[in-house]
Amino acid sequence: MKRFESNVQANQERFLGELQEFCRKPSIIAQGIGIEETAEWVCDRLRRAGFESKVVAVEGGAPVVYGEIGSGDKTLMMYNHYDVQPPEPLELWDSGPFEAKIRAGRVWARGVSDNKGPLMARVQAIEAYQQAVGELPIRIKWVIEGEEEIGSPNLGRFVDENRELLEGADACLWEGGGRDGAGRPVISLGMKGIAYLGLSVSGAGSDLHSMNGAIVGNPAWRLIWALASLKDENENISVDGLMDYVAEPTEEEWAFIRRIPFDEEESKRDFGITSFLKGATGTDVVKQLLYDPTCTVCGILTGYTGPGPKTVLPNEASAKVDFRLVPDLNPELVLRLVREHLDRRGFTDVNVELLAQLWPYRSPVEHPWVDASIAVARDVFGAEPVVYPSSAGGGPMYQLCGTFGIPGIAGGGAGNPNGNLHAPNENIYVEDYMRTIRYTGRLIDALGSL
């Protein structure tokens, strides 16, 4: 791998120039900007790196770029996305979000960390590997979607329609990861799911004077009582039957949890809180974050919310509730459990709809490909990796990894703790970018030797 390392080193300037070129192509899925063109560009770039690649149309959605390369009896699936978040508010950027300037050792651009940097680094790594070492020792099946930033609504359909193409992988190298503030590489082996519900209740024909509160029903009260039945004052989710689907971590998983560095006081300071939920301390905080499902009220709106008093009896009330899901929960199940729970308590007047959804997925934590991804990260970053047996966040890992029952390894990304993902001044360090290229090439090599 020495020749690989020198090749990468020698090409740094070209690699960065190409990353800038990629970042200068806006591909904002939420605004429908540049999607098809960017997909074609990415497909072409894969082809130039030796991939057999194609742009796969998905009915009603953004196209998926699919590429294959390499040979052998081992197959690594890879997942990335070419779409980015909207760049607004523009005035908060120090340089244009699609200028992709290099400044103070970092590349600044919308999507450079999430996810164009890691994507391009993987192309360049594979290209460099072939130039420096030769043919890839494993097969690669690469799925690059264009709707990640709006919740991957059509990835499941793509998988269903292209099952034969995708089958047979041993593991999936997911997007994401990077390093923490102490320089430790971060790897996640699973993701929570989401059931994001909208609840609403209607009352009288119009808002009324609040003096009528003695004789006319109030949708705000109906909503409050319905919500209060979903989670109790001890912070336990009380939706009938929901917790039956939730397993505690295994001993194996506890071992991973205990190894995650966690500075309790610093974390409290960062959040601006004096204690964690349920009075948790130490490792239990980490366990809750990664292994507990959540039921979070994200918003409520009803009646008058301006300054001072207004004596109104509202006729509409609505709330948004985000359930973060762990196995064996899933969005449709949660919707059904909540509906039945409310009906059982007479809340048939409370309308419930699913506004966003993701299935949870958790990888096996003891697996030779997981071990290899950790070992390579240790080597490339020169620090002990922080391995999350599951991420607190969500992503469409289930659609790819769950469908085929393979580990999902989110690691080797170029992120840094001040990378401003989804925010103005998104950035990656040049150094982290080069590490991502090296990580990818070395992981491929290591997997070939397993």
> Which 151-170 positions form the footprint of a second copy (CB under 8 A)?
151
Q: Do the beta carbons of residue 125 and residue 444 sit within 8 Å?
A: yes
Site string for a second copy, 97-136 (x = CB under 8 A): ----------------------------------------
**Region of 103-111, 167-175, 196-204, 398-406 interacting with a second copy (CB under 8 A):** 196-204
Q: Do the beta carbons of residue 67 and residue 52 sit within 8 Å?
A: yes
Among 43, 78, 107, 313, contact with a second copy (rule: CB under 8 A):
313
User: Using CA atoms, how far apart are residues 166 and 66, in angstroms rounded to an integer?
Assistant: 10
The Cα diameter of the chain in Å comes to 82
**Residue 39 C-beta: closest distance to a second copy, Å:** 24
Among 57, 246, 312, 375, contact with a second copy (rule: CB under 8 A):
312
Please report which helix (H) or strand (E) contains residue 52, including its range.
strand 52-56
Q: Helices 117-132 & 430-448, crossing angle to 10 degrees?
A: 50
Query: What is the CA 376 to chain-centroid distance, rounded?
Result: 22
322 touching a second copy, by CB under 8 A: yes
**Residue 85 C-beta: closest distance to a second copy, Å:** 13
Query: 329 to 348, contacts with a second copy by CB under 8 A?
Result: 345-346
Q: Do the beta carbons of residue 111 and residue 22 sit within 8 Å?
A: no
Among 86, 153, 168, 217, contact with a second copy (rule: CB under 8 A):
217
Dihedral (CA of 134, 140, 145, 150) sign: negative
Among 54, 55, 225, 335, contact with a second copy (rule: CB under 8 A):
225
Q: Which is nearer to a second copy, 102 or 312 (CB)?
A: 312
Among 296, 344, 366, 423, contact with a second copy (rule: CB under 8 A):
296
**Residue 83 C-beta: closest distance to a second copy, Å:** 17
- Using alpha carbons only, give the angle 136, 138, 141 rounded to the nearest 5 degrees: 100
Q: Which is nearer to a second copy, 127 or 292 (CB)?
A: 292
214 touching a second copy, by CB under 8 A: yes
Query: 35 to 74, contacts with a second copy by CB under 8 A?
Result: none
304 touching a second copy, by CB under 8 A: yes
Which tokens belong to 133?
């070492």
Phi then psi for residue 130, to 5 deg, are -65, -40
Among 16, 120, 227, 376, contact with a second copy (rule: CB under 8 A):
227
Q: Do the beta carbons of residue 247 and residue 292 sit within 8 Å?
A: no
**Residue 238 C-beta: closest distance to a second copy, Å:** 11
**Region of 10-18, 67-75, 154-162, 293-301 interacting with a second copy (CB under 8 A):** 293-301
User: Using CA atoms, how far apart are residues 295 and 226, in angstroms rounded to an integer?
Assistant: 13
Query: 364 to 393, contacts with a second copy by CB under 8 A?
Result: 392-393
**Region of 6-14, 52-60, 230-238, 437-445 interacting with a second copy (CB under 8 A):** 230-238
Among 96, 303, 424, 448, contact with a second copy (rule: CB under 8 A):
303
The SS3 call for residue 437 is: helix
**Region of 64-72, 139-147, 155-163, 199-207 interacting with a second copy (CB under 8 A):** 199-207
264 touching a second copy, by CB under 8 A: no
Asked if omega into 328 is within 30° of 0 (cis), the reply is yes
**Region of 134-142, 294-302, 333-341, 405-413 interacting with a second copy (CB under 8 A):** 294-302
DSSP 34: S
Among 295, 372, 387, 446, contact with a second copy (rule: CB under 8 A):
295
Q: Do the beta carbons of residue 282 and residue 262 sit within 8 Å?
A: yes
Q: Do the beta carbons of residue 93 and residue 87 sit within 8 Å?
A: yes
DSSP 308: S
- Interior/surface letters 418-432, b for 16+ CB within 10 angstroms, e for the rest: ebbeeebbbbbbbeb
